[in-house]
Amino acid sequence: MKTQTETQRTTITKEVTCPYCSLLCDDLVIQNDNETLKVIENGCHLARSGFENSVPSAQARIKGKNSGIDAAIKEAARILKRSKLPLIAGLGTDLAGMRAVMQLAEASGAVIDHMHNHGSVKNSLVLQDLGWIMTTLAEIRNRADLVIFAGTDATNYPRFYERVIHNRKTLFRGSLKNRQVVYIGEDLKTSKGRTNSGQRPIYIKCKQEHIGEIISVIHTMIVGDHIDSDVIHGVKLKTLVDLAQRMKEASYGVIVWAPGELTFPHAELTIQNFCELIKYLTRKTRFAGFSLGGNDGGTTAVNVSAWQCGYPLRVSFNKGYPEYDPHIYSASNVLKTRRVDSMLWISSISSDVKPPKAGIPSILLASPQTRIGYRPDVFIPVGTPGVDHKGHLFRTDSVVSLPLKQLRHGELYQVSDVLGKINELL
Amino acid sequence: MYIKLAGGTVYDPVHGINAEKRDIYIKDGQITRKPDPDVKIDRIINVRGKVVMAGAIDIHTHIGGGKVNIARVMLPEDHQKDLVKKTGITRSGCGHAAPSTMTAGYRYAEMGYTACFEPAMLPINARQAHMEMADTPMVDKGAYALLGSDDFFLRMLAADTGREAISDYVSWIINATQSIGVKVVNPGGISAFKFNQRRLNLDDRNEYYGVTPREVLKSLARAVRELGVPHPLHVHGCNLGVAGNDQTTLDTINAAEGLPLHLTHIQFLSYGTEGD
């Protein structure tokens, strides 16, 4: 439903989807005053910073000099044509942009990886090895009576609490009354974990890399086996006995994690521990997982890659068919080992993501306000989906994708158009 | 508007035509007999050297949507067995258990299919289903919207909101999700499991909504019929894979009380109790 009112050169748009994190809140009201945007209703600080600092135009540059966009596109195509193994990464774009990425990657024989995939790859590995039971925002909001934040406090997803923990309306009354929030991890901000009915959060402090073991201990006790220690990594056993009991008695429990925030080696094993426990609890009650992540088109990229080539990114098209290796074909690895000899990096949403400095011919497609930090061979400014052009993005829980509106008419090209033109010149 | 397909090699088993060189005439979108010589042919398409046959329709094939994509991510080792190289005119991909979308479209066309239907489109995931179907080339596509465990529908049914309101909702869903039919999978059972109810036979009540699979089935079959949706309610029944579910299936047919149903993958819902 579009509602716009016009007064001179000021436009107000309702029900705007915000692209600045993967929650994709769609209740924002945005004012466009002579192509300057302002958040009028709803939206968190990420939305305000995103919409209000976005810039509607900029110059394309070749080696730092203004070149006009056509010349920049030609030069980008020249770099890719000469390249033996290009890397197309960042992938901070929408559905249309990602479709264009896949086409260009195949045409140029490139490796593809997303800027935040170091997080979501951990999820993919668990899905491939074990499988999982996951849930959605609506189900948490309406059903969850026990929410366990493992290794995250959702600070990077500001309206998560407002939407699914502190909601006042629910389809099924029971969940709100008895809702309890638990945190497991270190340096977590827990004040938002206090529920509407006054229930204080439980905070189990332990180092990130010990969360997996804590969960294993709980799992072991729920299965009925005995634990010998009274203290595990600083946590009293009786605290874990209590949590195990709460998990068994929950009607609909959820473990929330953010794979990008579990920054220790092999964190996928910890995520696997969550999913194993969820699986075991599901024998008797309902439990599910929820992953916070996939900003900057991350969830979109994984999905489009999976349906168009079968694999969730980290694919090389160099042989004319998709070759998948989540360890070899990461952007950081192919750059570090110098497997790739050119890079096309895309970021059209958040402005604080830094493109890697590669030491190889680099093409950057980025929104004008992106902080680059070096001078690429080619810079092509691009519009932000949901601001400068329409599009679609996938939400963090993947099930839901949302349409994005065009809020202003600047001079920036869409990522999908730029990539399409480069592809034609190959 | 007359179209002539000229000089093709026709196969039509139903009419006993086996590799005959024949012209085919189409009038206003329907195949018809050869018109009188004075009738104007608006368009002639030269199909000399080509096979002309009826295209197959796959009315139940999981070609798009979140769960299909989960399957793709889960099966990297399976894709390895059937990798597909790009050509000058086709995209690369993979086949076997959960093919990539382009490969699925090409292979369906190679097998002589002209239309494929995704049978289980979750309304909230309809966008993704359509995205994946849009990336499935060559064949026509459509999908059926899942409604058997839809909370809004179950609330209406539980509150006895009435046939008209339910028909209105069903038609709204069909339009909003751009679907071509309505599907139930284990009607009401998926909802029941969310409330930790582990079993739901045809006449068991959903713990929260209090409605039975029989009521869900009848209500949706009737709505689909009254709305004039050409494809009947597409039913994946209760107790799939369970020994003795042949009786469940017979009960399900009776539950519809004469309303048309499409019973899908019926093999898995027709087991007796003989054997191990």
> Read out DSSP for A111-176?
EE--TTHHHHHHHHHHHHHT---B--HHHHHHH-SEEEEES---TTSTTHIIIIIS-S--SSTHHH
B8 CA: distance to closest CA in chain A (Å): 34
Kindly report, residue by residue over B128-183, the tens digit of the pLDDT.
999 999 999 999 999 999 999 999 999 999 999 999 999 999 999 999 999 999 99
Q: What is the pLDDT of residue A4?
A: 57
Interface of A with B in 129-148 (CB under 8 A): 131, 136, 138-139, 143
**Inter-chain touch B69–A143, beta carbons under 8 Å:** no
Kindly report, residue by residue over B23-69, the tens digit of the pLDDT.
999 999 899 999 999 999 999 999 999 999 999 999 999 999 999 99
Tokens (6 digits) for A318: 């160099």
For A18-128, list the strands marked E by DSSP: 28-33, 36-41, 61-62, 65-66, 86-92, 111-112
ipTM confidence = 0.95
Residues of B in contact with A124 (CB under 8 A): 73
Q: Give the residue from chain B lying closest to A400, CA to CA.
A: B125
B44 CA: distance to closest CA in chain A (Å): 34
Tokens (6 digits) for A210: 């010990």
pTM of the model: 0.95
Local confidence band at B275 (pLDDT 50, 70, 90 cut-offs): confident
Q: Is the pLDDT of residue B276 over 80?
A: no
- The candidate with the shortest Cα–Cα distance to B234, out of B66, B64, B155, B117, is B117
Residues of B in contact with A319 (CB under 8 A): 85
B175 CA: distance to closest CA in chain A (Å): 15
Q: What is the pLDDT of residue B199?
A: 86
- The candidate with the shortest Cα–Cα distance to B127, out of A17, A386, A393, is A393
Q: Are B186 and B237 in contact (CB under 8 A)?
A: yes
Q: Give the residue from chain A lying closest to B87, CA to CA.
A: A320
| Cross-strand bridge partners of residue B235 | B184, B263
* Distance between CA atoms of residues B22 and B33, nearest Å: 12
CB burial of A115-136 (b: ≥16 within 10 Å; e: otherwise) equals bbbbbbbbbbbbbbeeebebbb
Print pLDDT tens along chain A (426 aa). 445 555 567 999 999 999 999 999 999 999 999 999 999 999 999 999 999 999 999 999 999 999 999 999 999 999 999 999 999 999 999 999 999 999 999 999 999 999 999 999 999 999 999 999 999 999 999 999 999 999 999 999 999 999 999 999 999 877 688 999 999 999 999 999 999 999 999 999 999 999 999 999 999 999 999 999 999 999 999 999 999 999 999 999 999 999 999 999 999 999 999 999 999 999 999 999 999 999 999 999 999 999 999 999 999 999 999 999 999 999 999 999 999 999 999 999 999 889 999 899 999 999 999 988 899 999 999 999 999 999 999 999 999 999 999 999 989 999 999 999 999 999
**Inter-chain touch A307–B64, beta carbons under 8 Å:** yes
Q: Give the residue from chain B lying closest to A99, CA to CA.
A: B135
A296 CA: distance to closest CA in chain B (Å): 18
Angle at A378 between CA A335 and CA A80, to 5 degrees: 60
Tell whether A309 lies on the interface with B, counting CB pairs under 8 A. yes
* Distance between CA atoms of residues A184 and A149, nearest Å: 6
Q: Are A81 and A401 in contact (CB under 8 A)?
A: no
**Inter-chain touch B76–A303, beta carbons under 8 Å:** no
* Distance between CA atoms of residues A222 and A279, nearest Å: 12
Q: What is the pLDDT of residue B238?
A: 87
Which amino acid does the sequence have at A53? N
Interface of B with A (CB under 8 A): 64, 66, 68-70, 72-76, 79, 83-86, 91-94, 98-102, 122, 124-125, 127-128, 131-132, 135, 151, 193-196, 208
